[in-house]
């Protein structure tokens, strides 16, 4: 049960005055709370309090209404929205209903506000299906060449094998992304096209932008060409990630190398960030710098040591002490196996030892046992 049932976000003084008066004079009286701050503050409050009904002043909505509605239901999936407007303009009503509001009301409110609220509050919960909120994870290399792209591609496939759910692999390494090449999913579209068409982004357009690698594994590659003029707006990028969650159960991001602007922009949206490093001095230096910069991320931040040799000059415990954080996984080196598989246009065969480690890593991420036909390997050794 939510802590409040009815929340008001109304900036128009006349609308606010009449709505509040009507609610107070209703019989029986309707309990409500008012929110008078900005839009981002409203989203935070929805996430915390999860009200059942939101009375929304359309004039208080920043930008496109369909984007705003997607944000509302991202932070509060079961929220019902009653749109308020000063007039009964047909175009405004049509746009509101298309955006997904549950009711549209205009003054006077005496005869229609209370019935609308009561109708929604007493409606069966089965009438509304909460929006999907898929899990979003990212792979980031401490420096170029540490293997974040290889991990992202293989883990995405293993997550689908394990969970049998919908997985999206998205390449956010905009300058030199290789996901499309490794997954053999060439496309004319990229994440930039989703951002440019954010105002009309829906399920049908999204399906036209992504490429199916195989059933239930979709890919959206990096752009074929990129310049600094194409750099995405950070807020719009986060909105696209929020939309991705409504379309897929798992979203795997390749974030490129170092703590770049894209990785920083999407950090708050990510459920888990995997920092990938090798035992090279330069890579470990980069890893330690990123860990220090993201110290406040806590358990969201996980370390993966890639291409570990059979014998190391430093123990895992010593390395963890230097980094100030435990290792999530240590993966063996199989340069020749990867070279041969990529040369033949494939990912690693499931019987490959490194592929087995990728499967174990995906199993740990998903929190479910590995498939029985997989040989069991420890993530450390």
**293 and 344 share one domain:** yes
Tell me what pLDDT residue 307 has: 93
Q: Does the residue 377 lie in any domain?
A: no
Q: Does the residue 111 lie in any domain?
A: yes
Give how many domains the chain has, as a whole number.
2
pLDDT digits (tens, 9 = 90+) for 253-278: 999 999 899 999 999 899 999 999 99
**116 and 13 share one domain:** yes
**263 and 347 share one domain:** yes
19 pLDDT more than 60: yes
pLDDT digits (tens, 9 = 90+) for 175-223: 889 999 999 998 999 999 999 988 888 888 999 999 999 999 999 999 9
**108 and 146 share one domain:** no
pLDDT digits (tens, 9 = 90+) for 229-241: 888 888 889 989 9
Domain boundary, last residue among 78, 101, 127: 127
Among 15-24, 135-144, 203-212, 289-298, the range scoring the smallest mean pLDDT is 289-298
pLDDT > 70 in the chain, percent: 94
Half-sphere exposure in the Cβ direction for 262 (13 Å, CA)? 26
Q: In this structure, are residues 83 and 56 in contact, taking their beta carbons and an 8 Å threshold?
A: yes
Q: Does the residue 379 lie in any domain?
A: no
Domain boundary, last residue among 93, 127, 161: 127
Q: Does the residue 301 lie in any domain?
A: yes
Q: Does the residue 309 lie in any domain?
A: yes
**323 and 289 share one domain:** yes
**171 and 258 share one domain:** yes
Rounded to whole angstroms, the maximal C-alpha distance in the chain is 78
157 pLDDT more than 90: yes
Arithmetic mean of pLDDT, 299-304: 90
SS3 content of the chain, % helix, strand, coil (to 5): 45, 20, 35
**107 and 228 share one domain:** no
Domain boundary, last residue among 127, 148, 180: 127
The domain of 233 spans 135-366
44-47 LR contacts (CB < 8 Å, sep 24+): 44/75, 45/7, 46/7, 46/72, 46/75, 46/76, 46/79, 47/75, 47/76
Tell me what pLDDT residue 8 has: 93
**267 and 340 share one domain:** yes
Q: Does the residue 331 lie in any domain?
A: yes
**110 and 155 share one domain:** no
Q: In this structure, are residues 266 and 238 in contact, taking their beta carbons and an 8 Å threshold?
A: yes
Q: Which among 244, 294, 273, 239 has a CA at the least distance from the CA of 40?
A: 239
Q: Render the burial of 181-198: b for 16+ CB within 10 Å, e for the rest.
A: ebbebebebbbbbbbebb
Q: Does the residue 328 lie in any domain?
A: yes
376 pLDDT more than 80: no
**142 and 91 share one domain:** no
95 pLDDT more than 90: no
CATH code where residue 246 lies:
3.40.50.300
**143 and 104 share one domain:** no
**204 and 315 share one domain:** yes
99 pLDDT more than 90: no
Q: Does the residue 1 lie in any domain?
A: no
Query: How would residue 1 be classed by pLDDT, with cut points 50, 70 and 90?
Result: very low
131 pLDDT more than 80: no
> Which carries the bigger pLDDT value, residue 128 or residue 57?
57
CATH code where residue 91 lies:
3.40.50.2300
């Amino acid at each position: 049960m939510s802590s409040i049932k009815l929340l008001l976000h109304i900036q128009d003084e006349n609308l606010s005055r009449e709505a509040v008066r009507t609610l107070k004079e209703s019989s029986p009286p309707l309990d409500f709370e008012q929110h008078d701050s900005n839009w981002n503050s409203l989203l935070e409050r929805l996430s915390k309090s999860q009200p059942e009904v939101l009375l929304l002043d359309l004039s208080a909505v920043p930008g496109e209404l369909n984007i705003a509605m997607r944000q509302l239901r991202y932070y509060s999936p079961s929220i019902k929205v009653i749109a308020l407007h000063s007039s009964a303009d047909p175009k405004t009503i049509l746009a509101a209903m298309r955006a997904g509001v549950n009711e549209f009301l205009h003054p006077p409110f005496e005869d229609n506000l209370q019935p609308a609220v009561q109708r929604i509050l007493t409606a069966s919960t089965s009438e509304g299906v909460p929006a999907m909120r898929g899990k979003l994870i990212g792979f980031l290399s401490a420096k170029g060449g540490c293997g974040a792209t290889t991990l992202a591609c293989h883990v995405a496939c293993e997550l689908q094998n394990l969970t049998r759910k919908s997985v999206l692999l998205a390449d956010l390494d905009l300058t030199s992304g290789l996901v499309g090449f490794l997954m053999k999913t060439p496309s004319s579209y990229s994440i930039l096209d989703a951002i440019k068409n954010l105002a009309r982004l829906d399920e049908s357009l999204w399906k036209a932008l992504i490429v199916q690698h195989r059933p239930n594994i979709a890919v959206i590659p990096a752009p074929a060409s990129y310049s600094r003029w194409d750099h995405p707006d950070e807020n719009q990028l986060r909105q696209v990630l929020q939309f991705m969650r409504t379309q897929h159960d798992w979203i795997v991001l390749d974030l490129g190398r170092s703590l770049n602007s894209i990785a920083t922009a999407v950090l708050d949206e990510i459920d888990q960030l995997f920092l990938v490093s090798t035992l090279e001095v330069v890579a470990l230096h980069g890893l330690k710098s990123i860990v220090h910069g993201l110290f406040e991320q806590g358990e969201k931040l996980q370390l993966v040591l890639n291409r570990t040799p059979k014998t190391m000059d430093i123990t895992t415990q010593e390395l963890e002490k230097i980094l100030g954080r435990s290792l999530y996984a240590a993966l063996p080196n199989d340069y020749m196996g990867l070279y041969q598989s990529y040369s033949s246009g494939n990912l690693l065969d499931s019987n490959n030892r490194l592929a087995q480690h990728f499967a174990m890593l995906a199993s740990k991420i998903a929190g479910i046992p590995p498939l029985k036909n997989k040989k069991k390997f420890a993530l450390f050794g």
